[in-house]
Amino acid sequence: MQRSIESSVSSPSKGEEQGGGGAGKPLNTVVRSTLPLSGIPFASAQHKPDSFGTHPVLRDYQPLWVSLMRLIREFLLIVLVGLGLAGLFRTAAFATYFIPSESMVPTLEVGDRLAVSKFAYGWSKFSLPLANFGFEFNGRILGSLPQRGDVVVFVHPLDGKTMIKRVIGLPGDHVRLQRGRLFINGARLERRLEATYHYREQGSGASVVGVTRYTETLPGGREHTIVQRSDDNAVETMPDYVVPAGKLFMMGDNRDNSADSRLTLMGPVPVENLIGRADTILYSDHTCRPEPGLYCAPRRSLSAID
């Protein structure tokens, strides 16, 4: 391809051509010349004119592996930041726990997976394990007491296991049991009969047990469901007990199948040992084989815990 370039030059007058004294006027003549495109400096293969067509712009081409390494590095950075935020969220805000026993039946069944709010009562060394990073503290940060009736996750004061029970007594409360009836601060709690049924306990060789389900009302009007096998079992009678300062009285909803604050195996639980409040059943792996005449608890998901 060739490109036309026009230029103006002065041509000698006729008198000058004949050797005259230059009296003639110069005549502008257009001369057309043709140059190959490759002869134009800014059109070379190594340069490209900028928007003004005057200065060359150099292009910096990187190898493909350099671009790939940059993309991989950015992707790994995003993943690490996401994992860090997820770890912080799980450490300080929420955690999930699996129910392994029947002490909270019928509220919670074996196989339920719970979401626990770790900031509901502030943080302690049990809910915020900073000891793993060389920092340990006593007491609670932004601490507050739970309410009667809250279902809480806590660290067992004697053996260090993670437990779940219902808060029945607050510091200073008087708690007493008389043949299955619960008294708090001298007042007997109302309980409403709901049903009587049989079910098979979980585990190999599990036996069939008969229970009565009640709705129990705590001071202030809060209700929850309990089951009892009998009002005459040894754990269903307890003398008046004053909950010590800084401690909580815990009980399971399965009143005849729960090792809780009624027994010296646990006793009252320090407020500091709280991990959080159980708010929601996320999903359940609870299994129950239907049998004639036996109650089979349904699976639940995304259900609030009363």
Domain chopping of the chain, boundaries: 2-43, 62-92, 95-304
Q: What integer pLDDT is reported at residue 24 of this predicted model?
A: 45
Contacts of residues 60-63 at CB distance under 8 Å and 24 or more positions apart, as own/partner, are none
- CATH topology classification for 95-304: Umud Fragment, subunit A (2.10.109)
pLDDT digit string, tens, across residues 161-215: 999 999 999 999 999 999 999 999 999 999 999 999 999 998 766 799 999 999 9
Tokens of 246: 């800084």
- Of the residues 118, 165, 258, 261, only one is catalytic, namely 165
**147 pLDDT tier (thresholds 50, 70, 90):** very high
Q: Read out DSSP for 21-83?
A: -S-SPPEEEEEEEEEEGGGSGGGSTT--B-TTSSSB----PPPHHHHHHHHHHHHHHHHHHHH
The pLDDT of 93-100, averaged and rounded, is: 87
Q: What integer pLDDT is reported at residue 134 of this predicted model?
A: 58
Q: Rounded CA gap, 274 and 44, in Å?
A: 77
Active site residue 103: yes
**26 pLDDT tier (thresholds 50, 70, 90):** very low
- Of the residues 103, 117, 127, 261, only one is catalytic, namely 103
The pLDDT of 46-71, averaged and rounded, is: 61
The answer to whether residue 78 scores a pLDDT higher than 70 is yes
31 vs 96 pLDDT, higher one: 96
Percent of the chain with pLDDT over 90: 56
Active site residue 11: no
